[in-house]
Amino acid sequence: MDIQSISFASRFNGISGSAIREIFKLLAVPGMISFAGGNPAAAALPDRQCAELAKELLLDKGKSLLQYGATEGYAPLRESLVPYLKDRFSFDCKADEILPVTGSTQAMDLLCKALIDPGDKIAVESPTFLGNMQCMKLYQAQLLPVDSDEDGIRVDQLEEVFKKEHPKMLYVIPTFQNPTGRTLSLERRKKIAELAARYGVVVAEDDPYRDLRYAGQELPSIKSFDTEGWVAFLGSFSKVISPGLRVGFLCASPALLRKCVIGKQSSDVHTANLNQAIVDAYLRRGLLMPHVERICQSYAEQMNTMLGLLAKCGGVARYTRPEGGLFIFAELNEGMNAVELLKTCVDQGVAYVPGTYFYPAGGHENAIRLNFSMCTVEQIKTGMEKLNTVFTANLK
Amino acid sequence: MDIQSISFASRFNGISGSAIREIFKLLAVPGMISFAGGNPAAAALPDRQCAELAKELLLDKGKSLLQYGATEGYAPLRESLVPYLKDRFSFDCKADEILPVTGSTQAMDLLCKALIDPGDKIAVESPTFLGNMQCMKLYQAQLLPVDSDEDGIRVDQLEEVFKKEHPKMLYVIPTFQNPTGRTLSLERRKKIAELAARYGVVVAEDDPYRDLRYAGQELPSIKSFDTEGWVAFLGSFSKVISPGLRVGFLCASPALLRKCVIGKQSSDVHTANLNQAIVDAYLRRGLLMPHVERICQSYAEQMNTMLGLLAKCGGVARYTRPEGGLFIFAELNEGMNAVELLKTCVDQGVAYVPGTYFYPAGGHENAIRLNFSMCTVEQIKTGMEKLNTVFTANLK
């Protein structure tokens, strides 16, 4: 029988792979200035430190690091995450309420695995992170978009959705959101924890950018207001140490975490021990925050340069003013189409991600997501000038 | 609302987690002689070599290894797998038909993700690997057990199952099978490739033990007889380099592999680059096979010691005689219950895994799986003496 007659699972109906990851493939052109990625700067990746740590850890405890590990995670990392979470995210949890995972993407996958049957509903910010939307769609969830404004997701709309639609989950990125860069206000954080408990909705609080703050005041996590256990917290070291190591973590109430552990047994058995041990060393030896401070200095300058130039960029009607993270979200004048203009921009040597991809219901073709972490200040100036040229030539 | 009112996805109905992994937790007693695991010996884990490689690779190309990688995998590893597969598994494939994964467990997960809707049927050997049975059950597949004998899965039964039940997949471990240690004969390998193409069934050929051969003749993979692309090959470096690094790979026809790549985007984005680069170095620099030869010498002696003592062990009615791998499968006398006897054995300081867990339909309470890789020859002698004592005292 011809292999073309193979039939795939219905979860793939309507799924075509990440549009962003396809765009990235087009950008491997020398000299391209890319505002499209969401990657850390090369300078922010601690290669020498990791080289020394990897060698030291493997010489010191290689026999156990190279052996099978527990699905529940590398015990020292679970322990060192406890004070980190208390200190940085303002919540108490026990080591056995923490599951190290293979990047926080896997945390989202495991939450869906634990909770979502086809047709189940998940409330999401509109716009939100594309990768996790694809995850939810592969679990055949129905996504319920909730509008966001300068203070993050609108909790008035959210309560209506909870009341009427009874979603199983809310997916929210509270700090320096992807793609908008916005931060959820303190009041809304409290309110979301309260609504979750009132309506029995699991909140997947995805907070990978928090440590990249360049201005303003830190806010406590939604999880810190969680008294009943409905908030599951997704953490990542991809933006502050290395995405290539694939280490994140999930904190959740015991019964939910147990289901995620069982799900993880057949996802990848456990997260690579060496990678967990490297992250543990960053936490345990106090290496993380000094490293974060170093990279924030540079990112702040990059962001401020881009914000300054956006104010003067032709065709840009409005844009967000983040206090940290990796992204600025802008809207071009009504009628300008960012998907079509991308081709021209790429020809001119500059790229962004059209904002429409981040909207669960599509539309918003005039929106663009700009990343500033991967470019030098000089590149940002050159790239913004190119955008200005293209947008000004295509004004509407 | 109380968190106890949380409701989980229906895929967890009847799933309670890996019985084996729960047994392992009971074995963390000093002095316990465990024949229960499936782990490489500590001596087989190349900690110093990995320490040097990790440092060298991170110093040399740390900026790219610590950055996000392609979901499709680390390009040098995909390339170095091509001659490895040709040489060791006798089949040709292109680099872009290979997907590095986070342990071959993930390959199975991605195949199910790509192919299995709830209720779809998967033919499996009876008995077979517990971990992947759990994976299939979490995709709500219906497992169709097919008997096996000294030459592996019975292809006469298999053809009947293909004809009558139209499964979407066959899951098979052709070499030194887990749990039986048996190897599928050459004729049956050919026949399975032929049946797969005739009936349009994807074969998941899971071959992690192949390089651990201590006697007899190597056989070509099922995939080497695959002319139509129905065979998907699952490879692993867990048994020959390190399970803790979590690196395996999947070879499949392009359309199927593409679905697995899309599935992997939201599973864990990509497998950790450093871990892929370490495995690549083993292949590229010719470090793998000399390492394998070293560990095989020791494993052969361990296996032969256990086989010799099984011949004299009270209550053992029959056992398999593997030519490699990590496991021997034995049957106690009819009426002896290996699940109940395990408690007594653990009290005496020796452990195994009851064979019943490996049978999709249960039963076979007199069967046991014995692993020899994690014990010294002395420990094997002591442990087998303990088993002899317990079994002889409980003869039926």
Rg, C-alpha atoms of chain B: 21
Query: Which DSSP symbol is given to A169?
Result: E
CA angle, residues A205, A211, A217, in degrees to nearest 5 = 90
| A5 shares contact with chain B (CB less than 8 Å) | yes
Distance to chain A for B88, nearest Cα, Å: 24
3-state helix, strand and coil shares in percent for chain B, rounded to the nearest 5: 45, 15, 40
**Nearest in space to A50 (alpha carbons), one of B59, B328, B142:** B59
What 3-state class would DSSP assign to B274?
helix
Distance to chain A for B254, nearest Cα, Å: 10
The answer to whether the beta carbons of residues A336 and A395 sit under 8 Å apart is: yes
What the block records as the tokens of B337 is: 């219950």
Q: Which residue has the tokens 């699940």?
A: B339
CA-to-CA dists, residue A40 to A104, A239, A373, B69, B182, angstroms: 16, 6, 6, 12, 49
Tell me which chain A residues have a C-beta less than 8 angstroms from the C-beta of B15.
262
CA angle, residues B142, B148, B150, in degrees to nearest 5 = 165
With CA atoms as reference, the chain B residue closest to A267 would be B106
Tell me which chain B residues have a C-beta less than 8 angstroms from the C-beta of A46.
66
For B30, residues 6+ apart whose C-beta sits below 8 A from its C-beta are none
Residue A28: predicted pLDDT: 76
Give this prediction's pTM. 0.97
| A128 shares contact with chain B (CB less than 8 Å) | no
What the block records as the tokens of B392 is: 């002889």
What percentage of chain B reaches a pLDDT higher than 90?
Answer: 95
Q: Which residue has the tokens 């094997």?
A: B380
| A10 shares contact with chain B (CB less than 8 Å) | yes
Measured in residues, chain A has a length of 396
Nearest by CB to B266, from A65, A109, A253: name it.
Answer: A109
The answer to whether the beta carbons of residues A306 and A328 sit under 8 Å apart is: yes
**Nearest in space to B265 (alpha carbons), one of B93, B114, B45, B94:** B114
Distance to chain B for A319, nearest Cα, Å: 27
What the block records as the tokens of A129 is: 């992170």
Sheet (strand B316-319) strand order: B316-319, B327-332, B367-371, B353-354
**Nearest in space to A328 (alpha carbons), one of A230, A209, A227, A229:** A209
With CA atoms as reference, the chain A residue closest to B40 would be A67
Q: Is the ipTM of this complex over 0.95?
A: yes
Nearest by CB to B102, from A8, A59, A268: name it.
Answer: A268
- What is the CB-side half-sphere exposure of residue A368 using CA atoms within 13 A? 32
Residue B172, strand partner residues: B205
| A69 shares contact with chain B (CB less than 8 Å) | yes
pLDDT tens, chain B, 396 aa long: 999 999 999 999 988 766 676 777 777 788 899 999 899 999 999 999 999 999 999 999 999 999 999 999 999 999 999 999 999 999 999 999 999 999 999 999 999 999 999 999 999 999 999 999 999 999 999 999 999 999 999 999 999 999 999 999 999 999 999 999 999 999 999 999 999 999 999 999 999 999 999 999 999 999 999 999 999 999 999 999 999 999 999 999 999 999 999 999 999 999 999 999 999 999 999 999 999 999 999 999 999 999 999 999 999 999 999 999 999 999 999 999 999 999 999 999 999 999 999 999 999 999 999 999 999 999 999 999 999 999 999 999
What 3-state class would DSSP assign to A114?
helix
What the block records as the tokens of B377 is: 């020859």
Cα B266 to Cα A131: distance, rounded to the nearest angstrom: 6
For A292, residues 6+ apart whose C-beta sits below 8 A from its C-beta are A211, A212, A240
| A22 shares contact with chain B (CB less than 8 Å) | no
| A271 shares contact with chain B (CB less than 8 Å) | yes
| A311 shares contact with chain B (CB less than 8 Å) | no
For A286, residues 6+ apart whose C-beta sits below 8 A from its C-beta are none
| A6 shares contact with chain B (CB less than 8 Å) | yes
The answer to whether the beta carbons of residues B210 and B171 sit under 8 Å apart is: no
The count of CB pairs under 8 A between chains A and B is 274
Nearest by CB to A3, from B7, B228, B263: name it.
Answer: B228
Residue B18: predicted pLDDT: 67
Distance to chain B for A98, nearest Cα, Å: 17
What 3-state class would DSSP assign to A138?
helix
CB contact under 8 A, A135 and B266: yes
What the block records as the tokens of A223 is: 């999880």
Query: Which DSSP symbol is given to A225?
Result: G
Distance to chain A for B360, nearest Cα, Å: 16
Tell me which chain B residues have a C-beta less than 8 angstroms from the C-beta of A17.
258, 261-262, 265
Cα B211 to Cα B218: distance, rounded to the nearest angstrom: 9
Cα A372 to Cα A322: distance, rounded to the nearest angstrom: 12
Pick out chain A residues at pLDDT < 50. none
Name the strand (E) or helix (H) holding B252.
none
The 10 Å CB-count burial string (b at 16+, else e) for B7-42 is: ebbebbeebebbbbbebbeeeeeeebbbbbbbbbbe
| B5 shares contact with chain A (CB less than 8 Å) | yes
CB contact under 8 A, B269 and A1: no
Cα B196 to Cα B223: distance, rounded to the nearest angstrom: 11
What the block records as the tokens of B261 is: 């790549």
Torsion on CA atoms A326, A38, A125, A115, rounded to nearest 10: -130
Nearest by CB to A265, from B9, B131, B269: name it.
Answer: B131
Residue B300 sits at φ, ψ, to 5 deg, of: -60, -45
**Nearest in space to A384 (alpha carbons), one of A318, A331, A333, A308:** A308
Name the strand (E) or helix (H) holding B153.
strand B152-153
Torsion on CA atoms A94, A96, A98, A102, rounded to nearest 10: 160
The 10 Å CB-count burial string (b at 16+, else e) for A71-110 is: bbbbebbbbbbbebbeebbebebeeebbbbbbbbbbbbbb
Residue A126 sits at φ, ψ, to 5 deg, of: -125, 110
CB contact under 8 A, B55 and A59: no
In tens, the pLDDT along A79-113 reads 999 999 999 999 999 999 999 999 999 999 999 99
Taking the mean position of all CA atoms in its chain, how far away is CA A221? 15
Pure H helices in chain A:
19-26, 47-65, 75-89, 104-115, 130-138, 155-165, 186-199, 254-265, 273-284, 288-310, 338-348, 377-393
Cα B45 to Cα A285: distance, rounded to the nearest angstrom: 27
Tell me which chain A residues have a C-beta less than 8 angstroms from the C-beta of B273.
244
Distance to chain B for A349, nearest Cα, Å: 22
Mutation target to probe the A interface, by most A beta carbons within 10 A, among B67, B250, B271 is B67
| B26 shares contact with chain A (CB less than 8 Å) | no
Cα B136 to Cα B97: distance, rounded to the nearest angstrom: 23
